[in-house]
Amino acid sequence: MDIEERLVRRLRSARHVLVFTGAGVSAESGIPTFRDALTGLWENFDAEALATPEAFERDPAMVWGWYEWRRAKVLRAQPNPAHLAIAALAARVPRLTVVTQNVDDLHERAGSHDVLHLHGRIDRPFCAVCRRPGAYPPGIPDEPEGGRPLEPPRCIHCGGRLRPGVVWFGEMLPEAEWDAAIAAAESCDAFLCIGTSSVVQPAASLTTMAIRRGAITIQVNPNPTDLDHSVSLNLSGPAGMIMPALVDRVWGEI
């Protein structure tokens, strides 16, 4: 891996490393991203009709069925070498914070702890009315590509409809996670931005906060983003290849 010795030394001496991930980190596990040409979810499905509170009010069965298809994909997926390298990093640095925009649990299944999920979790449904948590029956739903209309289950407390536990367009991020992510971005000395297009706010502003603070910033992405020239180092390639190599090169064999 071709990194200047000066950057390697700065990374190695970092006391607090923040890893910020997006859909690209799970792409090699077979979970589609949102904006990649051809395969991205928002290239093939209408976000307005599936990922807004208004869409759920209008057609709860269509929204629920589509998320059941995505949940099945997550349940069948396995962590890839990028998730594993990030989990391995925890034992090699004094402090590691993992912040993700992903609604899957692949970081946790790879061994990462206390992951801050800014956009919620697909496996944590809650009641659209009283907001108390709901639960899925065990097993993997068998859904066709893109899902099919399915009436959402009802809340056992109030009878309201359960909804997927994700943040939709127009909704606030979970407050505790967002506050903790800001605090981490403002105190970290190394920031790794992995597999995100960095276009969705406010999550994407974490990278700018870290840049402003003077942290060393590294982007891992096979495609260009608006941050290519703002980060300290841009590593172009798939996270499953780059992350194990980066951790090996800087922090020692994994």
Residue 106 has which token pair?
Answer: 């692949």
User: Does residue 124 belong to the site contacting ligand OAD (CB under 6 A)?
Assistant: no
CA distance 132 to 128: 8
CA distance 23 to 228: 18
Binding residue (CB under 6 A) for ligand OAD from 1, 3, 62, 166: 166
Count residues contacting ligand OAD (CB under 6 A)? 25
Inter-residue contact 239 to 24 (CB < 8 Å)? yes
Site string for ligand OAD, 22-41 (x = CB under 6 A): xxx--xx----xxxx---x-
DSSP 14-53: -SEEEEEE-THHHHTTT---SSSTTT-HHHHS-HHHHSSH
User: Does residue 239 belong to the site contacting ligand OAD (CB under 6 A)?
Assistant: yes
Binding residue (CB under 6 A) for ligand OAD from 87, 211, 225, 227: 225
Which is nearer to ligand OAD, 24 or 60 (by Cβ)? 24
Alpha-carbon distances of 106 from 97, 122, 125, 152, rounded to whole Å: 15, 12, 17, 25
Q: Which residue is nearest to ligand OAD (CB)?
A: 24
Q: Which residues of this chain interact with ligand OAD, rule CB under 6 A? A: 22-24, 27-28, 33-36, 40, 101, 119, 166-167, 195-197, 200, 220-223, 225, 238-239
Which residues form the catalytic set? Answer: 119
